[in-house]
């Protein structure tokens, strides 16, 4: 890394604990809770602030309003089987203005994609092993 960038990064990371605390506070305001992993990850302030800042910026892109971003997070958490994340993001979606019906529809779409993925994979194997007779 060039010396100027190293200096800038070192200056930034010298404030890692304070920046990390701000990220935690902003995340709590955004989600209504502090993810349980944050306090543990904060034991390594420099790594936490770099990773959490990237996650924070990714979770709220400029191209999506908070409600839409939370519905995307609900679908992703459902698809990943991340039950604790799903609980957090359903509540955050409600806080961001999503309706019960919007969340339910988001979950149904996520379920449809999950079902389709299972069927597509399984039926490809079935077709390869058993052929296409019976059509």
pLDDT tens across 79-133, in order?
Answer: 999 999 999 999 999 999 999 999 999 999 999 999 999 999 999 999 999 998 7
Q: How many Cβ atoms sit within 10 Å of the Cβ of residue 37?
A: 11
Domain ranges of the chain: 1-59, 63-135
In angstroms, rounded to a whole number, what is the distance separating the alpha carbons of residues 86 and 107? Answer: 10
pLDDT tens across 7-61, in order?
Answer: 999 999 999 999 999 999 999 999 999 999 999 999 999 999 999 999 989 999 9
Going by C-alpha positions, the residue among 101, 37, 92 that lies closest to residue 70 is 92
Q: In this structure, what DSSP letter does residue 56 have? A: H
């Amino acid at each position: 890394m060039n010396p100027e960038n190293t200096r800038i990064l070192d200056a930034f990371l010298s404030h890692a604990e304070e920046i990390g605390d701000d990220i935690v506070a902003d995340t709590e305001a955004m989600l209504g809770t502090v993810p349980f992993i944050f306090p543990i990850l904060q034991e390594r302030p420099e790594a936490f602030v770099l990773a959490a800042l990237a996650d924070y910026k990714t979770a709220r892109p400029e191209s999506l309003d908070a409600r839409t971003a939370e519905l995307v997070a609900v679908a992703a958490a459902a698809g990943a089987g991340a039950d604790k994340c799903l609980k957090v993001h359903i509540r955050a979606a409600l806080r961001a203005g999503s309706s019960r019906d919007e969340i339910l529809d988001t979950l149904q779409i996520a379920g449809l994609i999950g079902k389709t993925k299972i069927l597509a994979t399984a039926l490809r194997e079935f077709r390869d092993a058993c052929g296409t007779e019976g059509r």
